[in-house]
Amino acid sequence: MSLEPLEHVSLAPRCTLGVGGPARWFMEARDLATVLVAHEWARRRGVPLRVLGGGSNVVIADDGVDALVLRVALRGVSAQDTPEGVEVTAAAGEPWDDFVRRAVERGWAGVECLSGIPGLVGATPIQNVGAYGQEVSDTVTGVRALDRATGHVVTLGARACRFAYRDSALKSAEPDRYIVLAVTYRLRPGGAPAVRYADVQRHLDARGVRHPALGDVRQTVLSVRRTKSMVLEPGDENARSCGSFFLNPILPAPDAARVGERAGAEAAMPSWPEPDGRVKLSAAWLIERAGFARGARDGAVGLSTRHSLAIVCHDGARARDVLAFARRLRDGVEARFGVRLVPEPVVWGASGLD
C-alpha cells in the first residue's frame, strides 16, 4: 500500500456495526515502517491519529472522523519456552480467535475461555479483554508499542499496563499515547482448562464431559456464545453489533444492596463478589428488568434477539440511532435502579451518549 494516506475512505465496512462515515485520511500498516510513517505524517500536520483494529468495539459517527485512521495489520506469531511456561508473541493484526485456536491446538492453557471474541490481538491488552472467568491480564507479560510521545518503540510490562476490569492504562490513563504492535502472553503447556462459569459447566455436563480438555472448553465457549449471537457469523440477524455494549457495573457492597432493594420481589438479582469487596452486577439483567426485552427495536436499531446486552443494527441504521438507543437503555436503567451503565465501545467523531 502507498505510504501516502488515502482520502475519504469509508469506515462502515471495516466495523462490525456497519455504520458511520468516512475517515478524512486512511492508511493500513502491514509493517512497522508504515506505522512510523503514519505517526510522523500526522505529527507534522497536527492531525489526530486514530488506530483501528477489527472494528468490533467502536462506533463511528455518521459524519465520519476528521483524522488519520491507521489500521494496524501487522501479522506473525512466535513462541519461546521459558521456565514459567511458553511465551507467545503475536503481532497486533493477528485475529484474536485464530490466536486462541492455535494455543488450544498446541495444548497451551490460559486463553481457552476467550474463544470466539471478535477483533485483533492489539486490542486485547487495551481493554483487558475477558470472558467466562478469564481475562488477558492473567497472561500478558509484555506489550510492544510505539510511544507517540517519544517516537520510540517500547515494551510495557504487565504492571505498567495497570490492568483493571475491561480497562488498562492504555485505554483510560493515556488513551492516545501508544500504538500496540505486538503482545506477549505467558501460557501453560499441558495446563488444565479454566471452568469457572455456570454456563460453561452446564454445557459440559450436558455433553457428559467430566474431565474437559482445552478443546472441550473452547468448543463449549463457542457453543454458549453462539446461543447468544456473540460469535460473528454470516446470516445471523444479530451479527451487526459490538457485542456487549455496556460494562457490568461494579459497585460498593452497600450500593449493590440498595439496587437489590429497588429490584424488590423480582427474581433474585445476579451478583458476584469482587476481591476488593465490591460487587459486580449483570448489566443485561438490569436492562431487561428496566423494561427492555430482547429483540426490542426502535426503527433500524434494537436489542439482539438472543442477548439483551448487545445493540444490533439493521438495514438503514445510522450511528446516531445506535447512540440514541443506547442512551434510552442507560437512562431507563438509571431511572429504575439508580445505576448508570458505562458503554464499552469507544465513540469516534461524536460526543458519545452525552
Tell me how far CA of residue 154 lies from CA of 31, 145, 160, 204, 238, in angstroms. Answer: 16, 6, 12, 42, 39
- With cell 505510504, the residue in question is 3
Where does 241-348 sit in CATH, by number? 3.90.78.10
Specify which residues 78 forms β-bridges with: 89
**Mean pLDDT computed over 328-352:** 93
Q: Which helix H or strand E contains 79, and what residues bound it?
A: strand 77-82
Catalytic residue among 87, 288, 334, 344: 344
Residue spans of the domains in the chain: they are 6-72, 77-227, 241-348
Q: Which helix H or strand E contains 77, and what residues bound it?
A: strand 77-82
Q: Clarify whether 244 is annotated catalytic.
A: yes
Q: Clarify whether 274 is annotated catalytic.
A: no
pLDDT of residue 137: 97
CATH topology match: 6-72 vs 241-348: no
pLDDT (tens digit per residue) in 139-188: 999 999 999 999 999 999 999 999 999 999 999 999 999 999 999 999 99
Q: Categorize the per-residue pLDDT at 353 as very low, low, confident or very high, splitting at 50, 70 and 90.
A: confident
Hey, what amino acid is at 96? Answer: W
Ramachandran area for residue 108 (φ above 0: left; ψ -120 to 50: alpha; else beta): beta
* For residue 2, pLDDT beyond 80: no
* For residue 338, pLDDT beyond 60: yes
Q: Phi, psi at residue 86, to the nearest 5°?
A: -120, 130
SS3 content of the chain, % helix, strand, coil (to 5): 30, 30, 40
User: How many CB atoms neighbour CB 344 within 10 A?
Assistant: 17
Choose between 302 and 2: higher pLDDT.
Answer: 302
**Mean pLDDT computed over 90-99:** 98
CATH T-level fold of 77-227: 3.30.465
Catalytic residue among 241, 244, 271, 308: 244
* For residue 1, pLDDT beyond 90: no
Which residues fall within 8 angstroms of residue 50, CB to CB, at 6 or more apart? 23, 65, 67, 68, 69, 70, 348
Q: Clarify whether 328 is annotated catalytic.
A: no
| Percentage of the chain exceeding pLDDT 70 | 99
With CA atoms as reference, report the closest residue to 27 among 60, 62, 73: 73
pLDDT of residue 199: 87
Range 304-313 burial, b when 16+ CB lie within 10 A, else e: bbbbbbbbbb
Q: Which helix H or strand E contains 91, and what residues bound it?
A: strand 85-91
With CA atoms as reference, report the closest residue to 171 among 204, 125, 209: 125
Task: Give me 263's grid cell.
Answer: 429490584
Pick the range with the lowest mean pLDDT from 43-52, 121-130, 266-275. Answer: 266-275
Task: Give me 300's grid cell.
Answer: 433500524
User: How many CB atoms neighbour CB 248 within 10 A?
Assistant: 21
pLDDT of residue 354: 72
Distance from CA of residue 281 to its chain's centroid? 19
CA distance 120 to 71: 11
Catalytic residue among 14, 166, 240, 289: 166
pLDDT (tens digit per residue) in 309-327: 999 999 999 999 999 999 9
CATH T-level fold of 6-72: 3.30.43
Q: Which helix H or strand E contains 176, and what residues bound it?
A: none
Radius of gyration of the chain (CA): 20
- With cell 503482545, the residue in question is 183
- With cell 506473525, the residue in question is 76
pLDDT of residue 43: 96
pTM of the model: 0.92
Choose between 111 and 231: higher pLDDT.
Answer: 111
CA distance 179 to 182: 9
pLDDT (tens digit per residue) in 251-294: 999 999 999 999 886 668 999 999 999 999 999 999 999 999 99
DSSP secondary structure code for residue 334 in this structure: H
- H-state helical runs in the chain: 32-45, 96-105, 158-161, 198-206, 214-227, 253-263, 283-289, 319-337
Let me know: does 74 contact 92? Beta carbons within 8 Å: yes
Q: What is the mean pLDDT of the chain?
A: 94
